[in-house]
């Protein structure tokens, strides 16, 4: 009975080199005062001049780019297989003319890493979303040929205008045609103004705990409202962080749709697929929510057969030194144990069997 981690990131060496060459977000900075410790600065606003440089971003060590550390982490946490993905902000920031080649290079790097650990690693590929749509579709078609790829990871910006942009249709069509899952992951959070003038006092808590999940929820709701799943009925999307807040808010979203005079006048309420249908047919959820309370909402919304264990490694390492097992991982294991305390078979499905089936792992 395998344990499979489907939410686990890496910045392969070529990507780290790219980040080290940059001076604007996203970048990696090594201060001359601390030559042995580098910081990874990726989130919007994270290098605000009012934040001391030693508090910007997060420390970055080999766990972010060394595949041997990923395997060691898997061994420590009894994870048999991982489906690795490039971490945010993927290639969103690259100039259009560079993105296609960068995606090919990084996807080939990741494919090689998986081949070095046959049977233990699979991957979600990365798309060159700032490139012309044809370049993106070509990369999707190339990814299908790579042995270890099992779909693509994407942020919420799409081609720059969000995931409800009709210009994405050829990309959705290619993903649907080749049965490639989108792993949808947040990065941009909410506008900084909502965090208030004292946001810097609160570290990363507001953007990560709330900005990320709400970003995902809004992105998926926009896809729903624009009819993406009416046009692409077999398009499958795996939502990070147990769907943000989608399982909890699905009823409210449906109610707002049914009470919207504008949608009614335009005839867009009847005949569409509702959020519950999409949650149970097109959406998969990870189990990265750290508590059985959120997990139960995910189970109720999509069903235990659509939920898959994840860790978010290498993010959220323990702050204490000499801790062997990460709190963030034991919290996710604990949430599954608690939510399925009367159903061991369903717990095992979430821990690994679902991923084996849904992602066709061997
Ligand atoms: O700690 C963070 O900033 C992050 C991040 O950027 N991406 C992610 O997947 N988890 C945590």
- What is residue 47's predicted lDDT score, i.e. its pLDDT? 85
- pLDDT digits over 133-188, tens only? 999 999 999 999 999 999 999 999 999 999 999 999 999 999 999 999 999 999 99
- Mean pLDDT value of segment 21-47: 89
Counting other chains too, the contacts that 103-106 makes at CB distance below 8 Å and 24 or more residues apart are 103/127, 103/128, 103/131, 103/139, 104/139, 104/142, 105/14, 106/12, 106/14, 106/15
- Whole-number Å distance, alpha carbon 315 to ligand 1 midpoint, is 6
- Mean pLDDT value of segment 19-48: 89
Q: Report ipTM for this prediction.
A: 0.94
Structural tokens at position 172: 């959705």
- pLDDT digits over 154-166, tens only? 999 999 999 999 9
- What is residue 36's predicted lDDT score, i.e. its pLDDT? 78
- Whole-number Å distance, alpha carbon 90 to ligand 1 midpoint, is 12
Whole-number Å distance between alpha carbons of 346 and 295: 13
Ligand 1 cavity residues, CB under 6 Å: 42-43, 58, 87-88, 204, 208, 312, 315
For atom 1 of ligand 1, the residue with the nearest CA is 315
- pLDDT digits over 100-118, tens only? 999 999 999 999 999 999 9
For atom 4 of ligand 1, the residue with the nearest CA is 315
What's the half-sphere exposure (Cβ side, CA atoms, 13 Å) at 170? Answer: 13
* Ligand 1, atom nearest to 240 Cα: 9
Under the banding of pLDDT at 50, 70 and 90, the label for residue 51 is confident
For atom 6 of ligand 1, the residue with the nearest CA is 88
Which of 25, 90, 212 best tests ligand 1's pocket when mutated (most atoms within 8 Å of CB)? 212
- Whole-number Å distance, alpha carbon 4 to ligand 1 midpoint, is 20
Nearest to 63 by CA among 290, 343, 317, 310: 317
CB 7 within 8 A of CB 315: no
Neighbours of 72 (CB within 10 A): 12
Tell me the CATH number of domain 4-35+63-358, given options 3.20.20.140, 3.40.50.150, 3.90.1530.30, 3.40.309.10.
3.20.20.140
For atom 7 of ligand 1, the residue with the nearest CA is 88
Single pTM value for the model: 0.97
- What is residue 298's predicted lDDT score, i.e. its pLDDT? 98
Residue 252: strand, helix, or coil = helix
Summary mean pLDDT of the chain: 96
- What is residue 56's predicted lDDT score, i.e. its pLDDT? 85
Domain ranges of the chain: 4-35+63-358
For atom 10 of ligand 1, the residue with the nearest CA is 315
The sheet carrying 81-86 orders its strands as: 4-10, 81-86, 121-126, 149-154, 182-184, 237-239, 283-286, 307-308
For atom 9 of ligand 1, the residue with the nearest CA is 312
């Amino acid at each position: 009975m395998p344990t499979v981690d489907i939410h686990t990131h890496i910045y392969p060496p070529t990507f780290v080199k790219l980040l080290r060459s940059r001076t604007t977000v996203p970048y990696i900075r090594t201060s001359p005062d601390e030559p042995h410790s580098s910081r990874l600065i990726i989130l919007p606003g994270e290098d605000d001049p009012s934040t001391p440089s030693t508090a910007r971003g997060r420390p970055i060590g080999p766990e972010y780019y060394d595949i041997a550390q990923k395997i060691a982490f898997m061994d420590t946490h009894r994870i048999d297989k991982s489906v690795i993905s490039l971490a945010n902000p993927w290639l969103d920031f690259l100039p259009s003319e560079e993105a296609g080649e960068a995606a090919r290079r990084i996807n080939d790097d990741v494919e090689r890493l998986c081949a070095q650990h046959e049977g233990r690693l699979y991957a979600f590929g990365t798309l060159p979303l700032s490139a012309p749509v044809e370049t993106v579709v070509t990369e999707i078609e190339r990814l299908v040929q790579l042995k270890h790829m099992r779909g693509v990871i994407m942020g919420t910006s799409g081609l720059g205008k969000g995931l409800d942009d009709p210009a994405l249709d050829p990309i959705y069509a290619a993903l649907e045609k080749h049965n490639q899952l989108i792993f949808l992951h947040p990065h941009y959070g909410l506008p900084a103004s909502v965090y208030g003038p004292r946001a810097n006092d609160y570290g990363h808590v507001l953007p990560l705990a709330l900005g990320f999940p709400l970003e995902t929820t809004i992105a998926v709701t926009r896809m729903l409202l624009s009819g993406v799943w009416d046009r692409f009925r077999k398009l499958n999307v795996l939502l990070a962080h147990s769907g943000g807040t989608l399982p909890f808010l699905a009823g409210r979203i449906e109610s707002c749709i049914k009470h919207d005079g504008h949608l009614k006048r335009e005839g867009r309420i009847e005949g569409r697929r509702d959020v519950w249908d999409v949650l149970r047919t097109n959406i998969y959820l990870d189990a990265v929510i750290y508590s059985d309370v959120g997990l139960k909402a995910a189970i109720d919304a999509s069903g235990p057969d659509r939920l898959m264990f994840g860790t978010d490694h290498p993010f959220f390492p323990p702050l204490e030194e000499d801790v062997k097992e990460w709190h963030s991982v034991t919290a996710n294991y604990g949430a599954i144990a608690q939510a399925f305390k009367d159903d061991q078979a369903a717990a095992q499905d979430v821990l690994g069997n679902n991923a084996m089936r849904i992602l066709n792992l061997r």
